[in-house]
């Protein structure tokens, strides 16, 4: 089965082609227009998707060296995400499928982050997936394909949101997660102890207190001092975020007794989180799966693999499929 997939849930327009031999193309058009606003502006995002979607899909097909008549399935993100952004991808996918008589499948973006782990590897079920992105932070017990139990999630900010908002406080450009990751590598993670919330309580997360703490901490210092110690502050913030994520992941493993863990979503690109997950897996003798970097942040290859798995279960969509912002 050759699959053409489209992802447009937030601020990246992406199209990919997946064949039985693997991913043939995975084109990502990121929208730089949001940088000056320090966050994604929904109306601008949907307009930019509309401008780039045709050429992104054409490029993905081009790079795959396949033509539309070789495509057996169109997979598209149905939600969650920004309504206007989702609409652009969904309408485009529907038009493509209808005009070319190709079956269509709708994909949940959060499922796709999890199943990105199946692009290059085959994790065995059951496993726990820590899904950490700009909008979500979830501990998911993946019992079988598409049989999920959310064991814990964030009560306020998502982990990626914490990186981005604290980065903004520190004067870093949006999205600050990757920038903080880079600066952290040169810093001392023990420079300052930022709070780690809800450590004694269950499997939920909270990052808003950390954000406030970082705000008060920097407001009490001179700007020049903050800039001088930027690497150390970034490393200390990264330490607080990743420690909580790993401690809760560990608790979820102990509660469920699974032998396999995975991490997914944009924040799974974080080097400190990846290193801590590896250490945890080695210490607890667990199988660990982490997608390669280009499949961590939003991309259509993860939509393709998830669409394939849904099609194999016979879960096709029809032309009545609607975008679902809070899916
Ligand atoms: O999954 P994703 O691309 O989009 C959503 O579905 O939200 O995740 C984007 C988030 C942003 O908050 C971004 O700052 C964060 O992932 N992120 C990172 C890194 N790369 C992306 N956070 C920390 N370290 C990174 N290397
Ligand atoms: Zn995402």
pLDDT at 129: 98
Look at residue 38 and tell me whether its pLDDT is greater than 90: no
Which ligand is the nearest neighbour of the Cα of 161?
A: 1
φ, ψ at 324 (rounded to 5°): -135, 95
pLDDT at 244: 98
Tell me the CA–centroid distance for residue 272 and ligand 1, in Å.
13
Look at residue 161 and tell me whether its pLDDT is greater than 90: yes
* CA distance readout (Å), 53 to 80, 169, 202, 284, 299: 19, 33, 42, 44, 13
Tell me the CA–centroid distance for residue 134 and ligand 1, in Å.
5
pLDDT, averaged across the chain: 97
Sheet holding 127-132, edge to edge: 147-153, 137-144, 127-132, 260-264, 287-289
Look at residue 39 and tell me whether its pLDDT is greater than 90: no
pLDDT tens for each residue of 2-37: 999 999 999 999 999 999 999 999 999 989 898 888
pLDDT tens for each residue of 208-243: 999 999 999 999 999 999 999 999 999 999 999 999
DSSP 172: P
Residue 31 exposure: Cα atoms within 13 Å on the Cβ side = 29
- Domains of the chain are 3-114+296-312 (3.30.420.40), 123-290 (3.30.420.40)
Which residues surround ligand 1 with Cβ inside 6 Å?
10, 133-135, 160, 163-164, 175-178, 181, 265-267, 269-270, 297-298
pLDDT at 36: 87
- Annotate 273-305 with b (16+ C-beta within 10 A) or e (fewer): bbebbeebbeeeebebbbbeeebbbbbbbbbbb
CA 164 to ligand 1: nearest atom: 14
Tell me the CA–centroid distance for residue 295 and ligand 2, in Å.
10
pTM (two decimals): 0.95
Q: Are 64 and 75 in contact (CB under 8 A)?
A: no
Tell me the CA–centroid distance for residue 319 and ligand 1, in Å.
32
Tell me the CA–centroid distance for residue 107 and ligand 2, in Å.
12
Q: Which of 133, 136, 161 to mutate to test the pocket of ligand 1 (most atoms within 8 A of CB)?
A: 133
pLDDT at 35: 87
Q: What's the pLDDT band for 75 if we cut at 50, 70, 90?
A: very high
pLDDT at 37: 87
CA 298 to ligand 1: nearest atom: 3
pLDDT tens for each residue of 284-314: 999 999 999 999 999 999 999 999 999 999 9
Residue nearest (by alpha carbon) to ligand 1 atom 1: 266
Residue nearest (by alpha carbon) to ligand 1 atom 20: 178
Residue nearest (by alpha carbon) to ligand 1 atom 8: 266
Nearest-angstrom CA–CA distance, 26 and 32: 19
Of 149, 163, 122, nearest to 245 (Cα)? 163
């Amino acid at each position: 089965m050759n699959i053409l997939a489209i992802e447009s849930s937030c601020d990246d327009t992406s199209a990919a082609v997946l064949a039985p031999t693997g991913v043939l193309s995975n084109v990502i058009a990121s929208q730089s227009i949001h940088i000056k606003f320090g966050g994604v502006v929904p109306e601008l995002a949907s307009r930019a998707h509309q401008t780039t979607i045709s050429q992104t899909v054409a490029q993905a097909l081009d790079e795959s060296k396949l033509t539309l008549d070789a495509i057996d399935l169109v997979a598209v993100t149905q939600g969650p995400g920004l309504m206007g952004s989702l609409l652009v991808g969904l309408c485009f996918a529907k038009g493509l499928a209808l005009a070319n008589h190709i079956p269509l499948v709708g994909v949940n973006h959060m499922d796709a982050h999890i199943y990105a782990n199946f692009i290059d590897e085959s994790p065995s079920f059951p496993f726990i997936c820590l899904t950490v992105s700009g909008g979500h932070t979830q501990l998911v017990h993946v019992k079988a394909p598409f049989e999920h139990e959310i064991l814990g999630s964030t009560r306020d900010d998502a982990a990626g949101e914490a990186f981005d908002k604290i980065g903004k406080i520190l004067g870093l450009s949006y999205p600050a997660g990757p920038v903080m990751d880079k600066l952290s590598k040169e810093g001392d993670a023990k420079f300052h102890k930022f709070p780690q919330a809800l450590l004694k309580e269950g499997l939920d997360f909270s990052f808003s207190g950390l954000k406030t703490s970082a705000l008060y901490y920097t407001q009490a210092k001179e700007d020049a001092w903050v800039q001088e110690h930027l690497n150390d502050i970034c490393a200390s913030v990264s330490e607080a975020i990743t420690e909580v994520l790993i401690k809760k992941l560990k608790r979820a493993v102990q509660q469920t007794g699974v032998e396999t863990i995975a991490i997914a979503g944009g924040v799974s690109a974080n080097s400190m989180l990846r290193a801590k997950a590896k250490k945890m897996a080695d210490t607890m003798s667990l199988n660990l799966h982490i997608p390669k970097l280009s499949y961590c942040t939003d991309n259509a290859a993860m939509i393709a693999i998830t669409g394939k798995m849904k099609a194999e279960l016979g879960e096709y969509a029809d032309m009545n499929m609607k975008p679902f912002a809070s899916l």
